[in-house]
Amino acid sequence: MSTIRTTYKKTLRCIILATAVLLPSSVQATTNESEPSKLENPLQADNLQDFLAELVGAIVYLSIPVIVFFIIYAGFLFVTSGGNTGKIETAQKTALYTVIGAGIILGARLISVILEGTVDNFGS
């Protein structure tokens, strides 16, 4: 019991020491050379609308391989069903849910553009 406690304390000390040494070096703010008291914006967006548009674009970009994978998976389920009605129903549900999800994700860009236009009209 004593050796476990000693090992635990040593491990905890090492973790605290490593955190104290590595954390300040990984959290460095870049400053603007002309105005040293201001921090630079690490994002490309200047406002919330631009940020959300970039976020939706990233989600769409990252979800395309997932959509392709599930379309291929649904096709694999169809091919390997062997005429079994239960497996065919599972393959059909997989294909249907993939198409619905793809429509929602790929339509998210359109929805965000519509909402952005609506918000801009309210502002003016």
* Total structural domains within the chain: 1
Note the pLDDT of residue 6.
Answer: 77
Quick check: is 53 in a domain? yes
What SS3 class is residue 80?
coil
Quick check: is 71 in a domain? yes
H/E element, 31:
none
pLDDT < 70 positions in the chain? 1-2, 4, 8, 14, 17-37, 39, 124
Quick check: is 57 in a domain? yes
Quick check: is 55 in a domain? yes
* pTM reported for the whole predicted model: 0.57
Note the pLDDT of residue 11.
Answer: 75
CB 44 within 8 A of CB 50: yes
